[in-house]
Amino acid sequence: MNSDIQKLQPSRLWHYFQEICQVPRPSKKEEKIAAYLTGFAKKHQLSYEVDPTGNVIIRKPAMAGYENRKGVILQSHMDMVCEKNSGTAHDFDKDPIRMWIDGEWVKAHGTTLGADDGIGIAATLAILEANDIPHGPIEALFTVDEETGLTGAFGLTPDELKGRILINLDSEDEGQLFIGCAGGKDTVATMALELVAVPPGHVAYKTTLTGLKGGHSGDDINKGLGNAVKLMNRFLWNAQHSFEIGVSSFNAGNLRNAIAREAFALFTVPSENEAALLDYVKTFSQEIRDELKVTEPGHVFSIEPAALPEWILDSALQSDLLDALYACPHGVIAMSREIPDFVETSTNLASVRMDNGKITITTSQRSSVESSKKDVADMVACVFYIINAEVEHSQGYPGWKPDPNSEILHIAVDSYRRLFNQEPQVLAIHAGLECGLVGAIYPGMDMVSFGPTIKGAHSPDERLHIASTVKFWELTLEILKNI
């Protein structure tokens, strides 16, 4: 384990965060972290259960003198987003996260760190272990598959949880208390992969776009970041119309809830158009460099000769695909009319994949207005209906309606004032939180969400701010003492 991490305070919080980072926990593969959590419960003689969905619930009685306090649920999710840079050798099913300290931040080497939501798990375990932290009855809820489907929250049943106050430890800006979130759903389009032989007289090139920041498709959607799917498609679309290229492969983006940050394409071009194409590459590179110089100064767009492939896309299919990706919206659709500077509705063009005999385009939509969520999902679907693609919508998940009169909110605000002599921000978040589903299953559940500062979530640039983690810990303890 990293000895520098072990020196950080509070020591037990960082101890558990480092232990968690040694346990592989991709979405839908939480068996190892679930076993770690149940092993923790056994070691500390705490009652626990694993529900049919795979969620782990650990219960701890109230500290002496706090038996009459209201029960509280500390909630975090087990899984992490598994993203890595293209040059990083890492197997998320087997390898531990390699952590390091860079000034004020804890980072990982070339991969996501998993502070989302490993730090929430770590704080909960440190509280469950301690004998000197005042609190009423605690239920610690660790859910599965938050990142790719909210499966754990969907699987909760009305009789599982006894408490009616829930603290969600899965927000990413210290000093902000969240009392509402957007709902979301996915829209996925598929088409059969129709290929034809490469015509004679063609040469092949591979083009690569790397170094984009990526980021969370909710929290970062309004930051003007580059989308690798849109940028690579823009190049291919123009090259198709001007130089008659034939696309052999086009893969970009990865996860539904991350802004696409890398793209790779292989294409052919008639020999007589090769020189003009290479001149256009210089023009295109300069265009996107100028456009993204503020938000994406580290991006790299490159092209190199490649071995001639045997097949390329049928020309009609290629035109349909590139047209649809160009037309598909990405980014903020509407800002809130009620909350200043708050994104109300957005859509993320997350990925395009060509494999297993088909083309798959994955998108995700978010909105704090249920009708707007459906509207933007239908808007995206229609882009792909036009080219006769098959389109499926996910079940989706509900938003969480803010309650400014919430008891736990007032406790949290008062606790923050006492500790830090300043006012916290009370906000709704454009990202999805499990609170929306919990509130639907447990009507009347009183909820608040907060956390330390995490930047670059869902990307290999993910980093956890050390000083804010201390404040997050102190606030959690202060709230527990005052419930």
Our answer to whether residue 320 is catalytic in this structure is no
In sequence order, what are the beta bridge partners of 355? 358
The alpha-carbon radius of gyration of the chain (Å, integer) is: 24
DSSP 8-state secondary structure symbol assigned to residue 86: T
Q: How far apart are CA 244 and CA 268, in angstroms?
A: 9
Q: How far apart are CA 32 and CA 17, in angstroms?
A: 15
- 30, 117, 145, 146: the catalytic one is 146
Our answer to whether residue 296 is catalytic in this structure is no
CB 291 within 8 A of CB 229: no
SS3 assignment for 209-234: EECCCCCECCCCCCCCCCCHHHHHHH
CB 104 within 8 A of CB 172: no
**Alpha-carbon distances of 79 from 148, 150, 351, rounded to whole Å:** 9, 10, 21
Least Cα distance to 298 among 459, 433, 429 occurs for 459
- 79, 186, 320, 461: the catalytic one is 79
Phi, psi dihedral angles at 5 (to 5 degrees): -65, -40
CB 20 within 8 A of CB 35: no
- With DSSP H G I counted as helix, E B as strand and the rest as coil, what are the percentages for the chain, rounded to 5? 30, 30, 40
In sequence order, what are the beta bridge partners of 111? 84
Phi, psi dihedral angles at 143 (to 5 degrees): -95, 155
Work out the number of other CB atoms within 10 angstroms of the CB of residue 55. Answer: 24
Q: How far apart are CA 415 and CA 158, in angstroms?
A: 30
CB 424 within 8 A of CB 416: yes
CB 181 within 8 A of CB 400: yes
Q: Tokens for 143?
A: 């859910």
Q: Which residues are catalytic?
A: 79, 146
